[in-house]
Structure 1
C-alpha cells in the first residue's frame, strides 16, 4: 500500500526504522521520564510498605483528633521508663504489644 501511494507526512520518510529513528528520540526521552517516575513511586511504596487499602497502624484513634502519641520501644526497662514519663507530666501511659 505504501508503494502505491507514498506519502511524506511531516517530512518523515516511511521506509525503515533507521531513517525514522531521529523522529523517535523525543518519544523515547518522554517514555524514559514516564517509566522512571512510575517505577520510582512503585519503589517508594515497596520500600515503605505503604500499599493502597492497607490497614492503618494508628496506636490510638484519638491521635488524629486532639491528642499527641509517643510510641516507645520497651527493652526490659518498663518500670524506669514509666517512672520517667510520670514525673515529666505524662497524662496517660498505655503499654501494648506490637504485632508485626
Structure 2
C-alpha cells in the first residue's frame, strides 16, 4: 500500500461482527480493500471475494521437480557414474530409491513453497511495511476501504461502517 493512498479504517471488536459487517458493507456497493485480523477467520476470504490460492499448483510443480531431480541424481550416480552391486541387486534398483526420492520431493516442495509464498506476499529482508493500525496484530479487526476505488464519499462510507458495528472509524 502506498503512502499517498487514503484509507478509511473500520475497527471492530469481534470476529463475528466483522464477518457480518463485510456482507453489509459490500451490499451497499462499497469495495473493501482488505480486512486485517489477529487470527484467521473461517469464511472471511470468500466473503471479501478473494480468489482461491494457487499454492497447491505450485506445490505439485515443486514436488514433481523434486522427484525428477532425485531420480535423475540417483540413476546417474548408481547406473552410469559409479555402478555398484549392493546386496546382489541390479544397478537399476528402483524400489530401493523410493525413500530418497520421497525425501527429495518433500524437500523441493517445502523450500519451493516457502520461497513462492514470500515472493508473492512481498515478504523479503529489507521490506518494512508499517501496519495501518498497530492493534491489528493484537486484538482488533480492521476493515480497510480505499477511498480512491469507491464511488461513495467518505461520509457515506463512515456511516455504513458505523451502522455495521464498527467501534471506531479512522482515516489514514
TM-score interval w.r.t. the shorter chain?
0.5 to 0.7
Q: Could you tell me which residue of structure 2 aligns to residue 22 of structure 1? A: 93
Residue 71 of structure 1 aligns to a residue in which SS? strand
Residue 107 of structure 2 aligns to a residue in which SS? helix
Q: Could you tell me which residue of structure 1 aligns to residue 146 of structure 2? A: 73
Are 1:85 and 2:161 counterparts? yes
CA distance in 2, matches of 1:66, 1:34: 36
Among residues 50, 56, 61, which one is paired with 2:134 in the alignment?
Answer: 61
Q: 1:12 to 1:56 in 2, by over 3 A?
A: farther
Count residues in correspondence: 84
Residue 69 of structure 1 aligns to a residue in which SS? strand
Higher relative contact order at CA 8 Å, sep ≥6: structure 1 or structure 2?
A: 2
Q: 1:12 touches 1:20 (CA, 8 Å); kept in 2?
A: no
Report the aligned-residue RMSD.
3.2
TM-superposition CA deviations, 1:64-84 (whole Å, max 9, x none): 334332211222422211232
Q: 1:40 to 1:21 in 2, by over 3 A?
A: farther
Identify the structure with the greater strand proportion. Answer: 2
The answer for unaligned runs of 5 or more in structure 2 is: 1-83
- So what's the TM-score if we normalise by structure 2? 0.37
The answer for unaligned runs of 5 or more in structure 1 is: 1-7, 14-18
